[in-house]
Amino acid sequence: MSFDYDLFVIGAGSGGIAAARRAASYGARVAIAERDSLGGTCVNRGCVPKKLFVYASRFAEQFQLAQDYGWSVEAGEFDWPHFIAAKDQEIGRLNQVYQRLLEDSGVTLLRGLAQFCDRHTLEVDGQTVTAEKILIAVGGKPRRPEIPGIEHAWVSDDIFHVPQQPRRIAIIGGGYIGVEFAGILQGLGSQVSLVVRDRLVLNHFDQDIREHVQLSMASQGVEIHTDTEAKAIERHDRGLTVWLTGEEPQSLEVDGVLVATGRVAHLGPLRLEAAGVTVERGAIAVDAYSRTSQANIFAVGDCTNRRNLTPVAIAEGRAFADTEFNQQPHHVSYHCIPSAVFSHPEAATVGLTEAEARAKIGDAVRCYRSQFRPLLHTLGHTTQVLLKLVVDGETDKVLGAHMVGEAAAEIIQGLAVALRLGATRSDLNQTIGIHPSTGEEFFSMR
């Protein structure tokens, strides 16, 4: 059978573009469909704009630090509309970069929603196309809890485009998105209330990390409501009221509500049933090589709900292209993938948490912690850094490394190489660090 394309990719986000470009470099005839801006969640509604918001929010602390060091500076006022316009300009530039990358790679871009007709046929805004292989890379979307008045709330996609900064905001959800935006908006001068269903923020992270981040956020002025859920949102002339459950039911009077209660695979519009693609627990079921229940259809990235990180989606997309179009079969290893929460303070982790390690090897686990005030903050600030190693006491192998503090992501990213190669605590202790630096403490923990 003759096909229009060797590969058709649905979704021009990080994973889809990586796969399309690499497959085209191997000589495949490739097309990609996208109904939204190029670059996907990361470029438009995730990593990139979020990090720009993080940078903007940290200047207030820098002004205070400057005064501690003898500078006479005034913080001034933050201009939200100016920042939003500058951010939008940069995101628009990146959209054009991705378009040029596709063009230079020889990938055909089709604008519109792609939907399955059968396992080899798609309809893109009325145009029918066929492909020998199809890759689904549509990412995820924010989940909205079913509570009265939820239509009055923003989700993470919305917050990047709010025209005016909310003076008072309630953030519902203690995951990384909620925690990051609590720090961002508090740093920009908003009064922030964070509503967390559990006792601590950042479920699934190491317990010490969770406690340190939460205490630090509270000390900076974020009002944290733990063991609490939002049961309703009500709009009125003065703004919004968020009604809470908990030991002492109460309400919050705010100008805006951000719901950050997780993300789900964005599968609804695809008509997967027409192609016979299996969905399990709300995500596309795939094997180690990203193959779905149909031999010619594959999926990568957040729509598979394996590890929802941009670098993982890119690695999955490239591994798929290498395997299917260059006779180099391999798949992504999910061992020792570092991750970060750009909270305030920043947190980063790689490997096992203490709880995961104890579940795996029991009492053989040994943990080493160091908590101190970094040199930058010794002239008046009270910020504390936390470093932690989780070690197999029998083999001395480092199972996990965790950190809360400035540049945590940069430091843990380097340690990820060591953990992936099986480094022991002795290896770290024999490594000479850079002095004075925060990262050197990982090489001398007792």
Q: Are 319 and 379 in contact (CB under 8 A)?
A: no
Task: Please state whether beta strands 191-195 and 168-172 pair in parallel, antiparallel, or not at all (unpaired).
Answer: parallel
Phi/psi at 192 (nearest 5 deg)? -110, 130
**How are strands ordered across the β-sheet holding 230-236?**
230-236, 239-244, 251-254
DSSP 303-350: GG-S---HHHHHHHHHHHHHHHHSS-------TT--EEE--SS-EEEE
DSSP 8-state secondary structure symbol assigned to residue 53: H
Structure tokens given for 264: 């789900």
Name every residue whose Cβ is closer than 8 Å to that of residue 251 and which is 6 or more positions away in sequence.
241, 242, 243, 244
The order of strands in the sheet holding 339-341 is: 339-341, 347-351, 398-404, 385-392, 365-372
Count Cβ neighbours within 10 Å for each residue of 54-76 and write b for 16 or more, e otherwise: bebbbebbeeebeeeeeeeeeee
Nearest C-alpha neighbor of 190 from the set 83, 45, 77:
77
Residue with tokens 């509604």: 45
Q: Active site includes 381?
A: no
| Rounded Cα gap, residues 61 and 53, in angstroms | 14
Task: Please check whether residue 6 is in contact with residue 29, taking contact to mean a CB–CB distance below 8 angstroms.
Answer: yes
Q: Which residue type is seen at 444?
A: S
Q: Are 153 and 172 in contact (CB under 8 A)?
A: yes
Bridge partners of 115? 123
Positions marked active-site: 435
